[in-house]
Amino acid sequence: MNFARHSCWILLAFTACSTGKVATEPLGGTDPTSEIQQLEERLSASKQQEKISLLAPEATRRTGQSLERARDLHARGANNDRILEETARASRELEQARKAAATSGTLLSEVIAARTEAVNANASRAFRTDFNETDARLLEATRAAEEGNLRVAQESRPDLLKDYRELSVKGLRETHFGESRRLIERAKAEGAEKWAPKTLASAEAKLQEGDQLIARSPEDTHALQRASSEARSGAELLLKVTRASRSAQKGRTEDMVVALEKQRMESAQLGQEAEQQKQRISELQKEQQANARYRQVRELFSEEEAEVLRRDGELIIRLKGLQFPSARATIPSKNFPLLRKLEQALALFPDAREVTIEGHTDSKGSKAKNEALSEKRANSVKEFLASSETIPQTELKVEGKGFSEPIASNRTREGRKQNRRVDVVLLTETG
């Protein structure tokens, strides 16, 4: 009897796996908000890093459906067990997606690499229809692999590899030489073969050299950029020479027109280079000034008081030492010295285009309550800064982020402590 029961359990488990259905059990005592947030992060990471949407489309779709049901139940205030049952289902389906993606990724590794090259060559935009059609056939292959039909996936490899590689070549040709090709065609339409045959031959030779370079060394980005620039210059010269020769006075040959046009282009190039040099010097000076101010801000705070970060034109002062009483937005007087230092830091950036005070919380409690609390805390910091009259209150923005932007896991006490914070974000020209 025990053996029969055990055999039955194995059979049921195998059947569930082979049909794609996943056994689920709620994780009692777990916070649904935290579970949903963690699942969203894991799903997003798996899509980006493991390409599960492409390599395991069906399992990824089921994961998304279960996660959406969990979100809906949570929004309607359903029982925690019902929500956690869906998050458990989504978690297991995500693991199935990752395993299926690993299998497909190994089987179709060359195809995936060729697809990545085509994307990098801008083929997904320049030749969207052809690219999407090839992607649709790749999805058919990965769906077949998900269902265990590896033979279909294997048989699709040669054609997929060939099509993605052709798209990559077409993408590179369009990205680097498409505009030059169109300029040459325009010049031909305006009579280049009659009025500027030598310049036309030179321009077309540069295009041919570009095509040969793509066939020979498609990964040599610097060489492609140089060839692209030379082809563009040759095509522009052709168009100018064609128009000038056609309208020139009697006796002016193509060679004379070419010489004059080259002189003009060289003069314009010298002026452009001089202007670019001035701009580089100006940008370098701004960067040096920004670096000096950044160091000054860092030196204002101890490691326990604040962390100072730079990110894409932003300076972020993360007030680690600013602690509020539980569920309250009143700033304790012991934090006043820290906020005085914040005032000094902001005074170093009078040209900041925008200053935003962001309140953040951990994931305990509802989304609405946390957003309201985080906004109140950010407002408290704003009011403190405005009270000193060193910074006009109208120049300070406030945002209550709630638990939407964690910097650590909400599953641990230390992680939740890190997430309960106030960030002051300065938008500057140089960061």
Q: Which of 4-13, 64-73, 156-165, 223-232 has the lowest mean pLDDT?
A: 4-13
Check whether 4 has a pLDDT greater than 60. no
Q: What are phi and psi of 421, to 5 degrees?
A: -155, 170
Is the Cβ–Cβ distance between 203 and 235 less than 8 Å? yes
Q: With contact defined as beta carbons under 8 Å apart, do 20 and 59 qualify?
A: yes
Q: Does position 26 have pLDDT exceeding 80, yes or no?
A: no
| CA-based nearest residue to 56, from 378, 64, 330, 368 | 64
> Which residue from 372, 369, 376, 388 is spatially nearest to 330, judged by alpha carbons?
376
Distance in angstroms (rounded) separating the CA atoms of residues 294 and 309? 9
Confidence of residue 394 (pLDDT cuts 50, 70, 90): low
Beta strands 396-402 and 354-360: pairing type? parallel
Q: Which pair of structure tokens corresponds to residue 175?
A: 């990205």
- pLDDT recorded at residue 150: 92
Token pair 């800064």 is found at 385
pLDDT above 90 (res 399): yes
Tens digit of pLDDT for each residue in 283-340? 888 888 888 888 999 999 999 999 999 887 789 999 988 988 778 888 888 999 999 9
Higher pLDDT, residue 253 or 403: 403
Judge whether 327 and 359 are in contact, CB under 8 Å.
Answer: no
Please tell me the predicted confidence (pLDDT) of residue 11: 30
- Judge contact between 343 and 387, C-beta under 8 A: no
Residues 250-276 have a mean pLDDT of 69
Residue 286 vs residue 123, higher pLDDT = 123
Is the pTM higher than 0.75?
A: no
Judge whether residue 94 has pLDDT over 70. Answer: yes
- Higher-confidence residue of 170 and 270: namely 170
pLDDT exceeds cutoff 60 at 420: yes
Name the pLDDT band for 373 (thresholds 50, 70, 90): very high
Contact partners, residue 223, CB within 8 Å, separation at least 6: 213, 217
Which of the four pLDDT bands, split at 50, 70 and 90, describes residue 85?
very high
Between 91-95, 135-139, 255-259, the lowest mean confidence (pLDDT) is in: 255-259
What are the phi and psi torsion angles at 250 (to 5°)?
A: -60, 135
What's the pLDDT tens digit per position in 227-251? 999 999 999 988 888 888 887 655 4
Which residue in the block uniquely carries the two structure tokens 């280049």?
192
Calculated CA dihedral for residues 62, 63, 65, 66, nearest 10 degrees: 120
CA distance 34 to 41: 11
349 pLDDT more than 70: yes
Per-residue pLDDT at 356 exceeds 50: yes
For residue 27, pLDDT over 80 is answered with no
Hey, is 190 helix, strand or coil? coil
Give the model confidence (pLDDT) of 287-298 as tens digits. 888 888 889 999
pLDDT (tens digit per residue) in 6-24: 333 323 333 333 344 444 4
* Span 74-90, average pLDDT: 91
Cα 358 to Cα 404: distance, rounded to the nearest angstrom: 11
Neighbours of 334 (CB within 10 A): 9
Residue-level pLDDT at 131: 94
The mean pLDDT value for 143-169 works out to: 94
Query: Is residue 430 predicted with pLDDT exceeding 70?
Result: no
* Two tokens, residue 102: 């690993």
Region 198-219 average pLDDT: 92
| Beta-sheet strands, E only, within 135-220 | none
In angstroms, the first-to-last Cα distance of the chain is: 72
Q: Which amino acid is at 346?
A: L
The per-residue pLDDT for 147 is 92
**Of all residues in the chain, what percent carry a pLDDT higher than 70?**
87
pLDDT at 8: 36
Which pLDDT score, from 0 to 100, does residue 13 have? 32
Residue 332 is given by DSSP the state P
122, 126, 129, 135 alpha-carbon torsion, rounded to 10°: 0
Q: Name the token pair of 146.
A: 């998900």
Q: What's the mean pLDDT when you consider all of the chain?
A: 85
Q: What is the dihedral of CA 179, 184, 186, 190, to 10 degrees?
A: 160
pLDDT digits (tens, 9 = 90+) for 250-261: 545 677 677 666
d(CA 226, CA 233): 11
| Residues with Cβ within 8 Å of residue 348, at least 6 apart in sequence | 293, 296, 297
